[in-house]
């Protein structure tokens, strides 16, 4: 027992100190002081962290000089300060849609162009000419994906060869690595494609307002999956539908390791007149009925009654950080950001500080939202969008958030009762059982085990029943904290493993 007490005291030293920040709160070591809202509301749409370079940001924000075009791309230092060695990129359009860093170059697209820069901001003029001048007559670059051979899949409105018959427009095409159009790849949809997402090494998901791909009309509404050469993957079907005159917005946002697809936006599913905002699809496109796709989200803006989910980012413990345009999620006050468990239920302990709000110099058409959440190193996240205050603190439309491994069990005492019972404890045969008071049988639970440094060493999703047995044979001898997420609640207990 003395060894057990000493182990618990070690946990007090590591997890009980108030100097440790909480998961899913702002990282105070990242402080962006640049004023993105000098005369109107600035917006950030993309953020890419590159080791040894800094944090690239993209969007559309004020130039600080009256009547000058807006800035669209820049780079921050790791602490959040503007990197003055990187030239501001000014482009008098509606901002940058997507930014990708690859092999010391930056690729990004605007509504009218696909551009490649060096990592230090210099424009690749040859690529510009090839991709946007010599081979294109009409061009709307909605989204793009870079393959391993550096060729680029682009979706939008294109023409194969400028001024040369047959002057055929197409919606899915490729560029070679130097930007020249690959005239062998040209595929059409009957309406616009808006976004794409890599599904796996061989396939791409497409989203838009179409329901026909090439000559195939049996794909369903608004989403399909293609192979890298542009041919249709007929093993996938869309579960969505378009009511007359209403197309909605349903973006594929994340692919789980098992091939399931997280979708966000505002959309209709087949056979149902209700509007939904988030769903998880099986690999073939069927709705995953174990996920809470009927979650209700609300806005406080009378001009925009329909909220939306714009971004879904997985956590290291198999949950999802979800951002978008909403002030309530399933009745819980959330400032456009919420934490869901694996089954789509709200974690009621996270993001309770107010989130994103208050646009400075807002126009009538502006609303507060989080557009993108991107994982960063050391189990952190970047959140960007349209906001000038986060958790009540004025600042830039970008924050860095701490992930779940930055765990602190506040005010833990050696003799505090645990939220649930682990037995046997200490564990000597690589298995333990759980009894969780008040938790109904057949409830889906997520079990995370943290070591003494706060790192997640095991994560399990299962269905609870009394005396359920959990295998922990991968754990070395030591003291651990066990966390259960169940029905939006977060419960803690401690255990000692004594393996031979």
Average pLDDT over residues 15-33: 73
CA distance 357 to 374: 19
Tell me the pLDDT band of 99, cut-offs 50, 70 and 90: very high
First to last CA, the chain: 17
Res. 402: pLDDT tops 80: yes
**Contact at 8 Å (CB) between 458 and 472?**
yes
Confidence at residue 412, expressed as pLDDT on a 0 to 100 scale: 40
**Res 134 pLDDT > 90:** no
217 close to 165: Cβ distance less than 8 angstroms = no
Mean pLDDT of 142-160: 85
Q: Which of 61, 60, 104, 54 is nearest to 84 (CA)?
A: 54
pLDDT tier for residue 10 given thresholds of 50, 70 and 90: very low
Question: Residue 11 has what pLDDT?
Answer: 42
What is the C-alpha separation between 257 and 276, in angstroms, rounded?
Answer: 24
Spatial neighbors of 19 by CB under 8 A, at least 6 apart, are: none
Whether the predicted pLDDT of 46 surpasses 50: yes
User: What are the tens digits of pLDDT across the range 231-249?
Assistant: 999 999 999 999 888 888 8
**Rounded CA gap, 25 and 476, in Å?**
30
- The model's pLDDT over 449-465, given as tens digits with 9 standing for 90+, comes to 887 666 778 888 899 98
- Residue 140 pLDDT > 80: no
Taken in order 442, 446, 452, 456, the sign of the CA dihedral is: positive
pLDDT value of residue 85: 93
Share of the chain above pLDDT 90, in %: 53
Average confidence (pLDDT) over 154-169: 63
Q: What's the rounded Cα separation, in Å, for the pair 235 and 230?
A: 15
Considering only CA atoms, which of 54, 142, 56 is closest in space to residue 99?
56
Q: How confident is the model at residue 3 (pLDDT cuts 50, 70, 90)?
A: very low
Q: Which of 92-106, 307-321, 410-424 has the highest mean pLDDT?
A: 307-321
Per-residue model confidence (pLDDT) at position 256: 96
Residue 365 has a pLDDT of 64
Mean of the per-residue pLDDT values for the chain? Answer: 85
pLDDT band (50, 70, 90) for residue 135: low
What's the CA gap between 88 and 84, in Å, rounded?
9
Mean pLDDT along residues 129-156:
80
Strand ranges in 210-345 using DSSP code E only, listed in sequence order: 223-227, 249-255, 261-267, 276-281, 297-298, 308-314, 320-325, 328-329, 332-333, 337-340
**Tens-digit pLDDT profile for residues 370-397:** 999 999 999 999 999 999 999 999 999 9
Output the six-digit token pair for 273: 């007149």
Least-confidence region, from 91-100, 187-196, 283-292, 326-335? 91-100
pLDDT digits (tens, 9 = 90+) for 209-226: 999 999 999 999 999 999
Give the total residue count for the chain.
500
Mean pLDDT over 176-194 rounds to 88
Tokens (6 digits) for 44? 């950030």
Mean pLDDT of 139-157: 87
Residue 313: which of 305, 301, 322, 304 has the closest Cα? 322
**Per-residue pLDDT, 428:** 81
Task: Reply yes or no on whether the pLDDT at 149 is more than 80.
Answer: yes
pLDDT at 93: 59
Of 123 and 157, the structure prediction assigns the larger pLDDT to: 123
Range name among 123-132, 143-152, 258-267, 383-392 with the lowest pLDDT average: 123-132
Look up the pTM and report it.
Answer: 0.82
Give the pLDDT mean for 474-494: 83
* Model confidence at 111: pLDDT above 80: no
Q: pLDDT band at 21, cuts 50/70/90?
A: low
pLDDT of the residue at 184: 84
The pLDDT value recorded for residue 12 is 41
Q: Which of the residue ranges 11-20, 155-164, 377-386 would you say has the lowest mean pLDDT?
A: 11-20
Evaluate if residue 9 carries a pLDDT over 60: no
């Amino acid at each position: 027992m003395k060894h057990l007490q000493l182990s618990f005291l070690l946990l007090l030293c590591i997890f009980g100190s108030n100097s440790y920040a909480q998961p899913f709160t702002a990282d105070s070591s990242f402080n962006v002081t640049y004023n993105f809202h000098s005369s109107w509301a600035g917006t950030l749409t993309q953020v890419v962290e590159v080791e040894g370079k800094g944090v690239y940001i993209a969007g559309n924000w004020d130039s600080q000089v009256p009547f000058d075009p807006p800035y669209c791309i820049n780079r921050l230092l790791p602490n959040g300060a503007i990197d003055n060695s990187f030239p501001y990129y000014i482009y008098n359009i509606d901002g940058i849609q997507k930014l990708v860093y690859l092999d010391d170059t930056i690729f990004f697209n605007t509504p009218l162009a696909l551009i490649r820069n060096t990592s230090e901001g210099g424009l690749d003029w040859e690529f510009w000419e090839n991709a946007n001048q010599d081979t294109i007559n009409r061009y709307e670059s909605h989204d793009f994906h870079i393959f391993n051979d550096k060729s680029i899949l682009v979706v939008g409105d294109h023409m194969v060869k400028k001024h040369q018959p047959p002057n055929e427009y197409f919606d899915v095409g490729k560029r070679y690595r130097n930007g020249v159009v690959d005239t062998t790849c040209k595929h059409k949809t009957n309406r616009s494609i808006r976004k794409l997402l890599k599904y796996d090494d061989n396939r791409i998901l497409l989203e838009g307002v179409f329901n026909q791909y090439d000559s195939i009309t049996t794909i369903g509404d608004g989403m399909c999956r293609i192979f890298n050469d542009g041919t249709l993957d007929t093993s996938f079907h869309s579960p969505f539908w378009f009511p007359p005159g209403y197309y909605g917005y349903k973006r594929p946002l994340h692919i789980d390791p098992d091939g399931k697809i997280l979708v966000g936006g505002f959309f209709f599913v087949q056979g149902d007149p209700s509007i939904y905002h988030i769903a998880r699809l099986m690999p073939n496109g069927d709705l995953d009925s174990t996920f809470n796709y009927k979650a209700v989200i609300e806005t406080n803006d009378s001009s925009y009654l329909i909220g939306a989910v714009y971004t879904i980012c997985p956590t290291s413990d198999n949950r999802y950080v979800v951002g978008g345009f909403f002030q309530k999620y399933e009745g819980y006050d959330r400032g456009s950001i919420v934490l869901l468990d694996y089954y789509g239920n709200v974690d009621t302990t996270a993001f309770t500080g107010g989130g994103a709000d208050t646009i400075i110099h807002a126009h009538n058409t502006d609303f507060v939202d989080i557009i993108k959440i991107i994982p960063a190193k050391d189990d952190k996240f970047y959140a960007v969008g349209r906001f000038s205050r986060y958790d009540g603190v004025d600042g830039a439309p970008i924050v860095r958030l701490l992930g779940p491994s930055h765990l602190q069990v506040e005010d833990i005492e050696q003799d505090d009762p645990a939220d649930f019972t682990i037995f046997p404890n200490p564990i000597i045969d690589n298995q333990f059982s759980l009894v969780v008071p008040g938790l109904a049988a057949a409830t889906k639970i997520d079990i995370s085990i943290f070591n003494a440094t706060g790192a997640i060493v095991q994560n399990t999703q299962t269905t609870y029943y009394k005396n359920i047995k959990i295998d922990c044979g991968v754990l070395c001898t030591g003291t651990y904290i066990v966390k259960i997420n169940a029905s939006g609640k977060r419960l803690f207990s401690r255990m000692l493993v004594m393996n031979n």
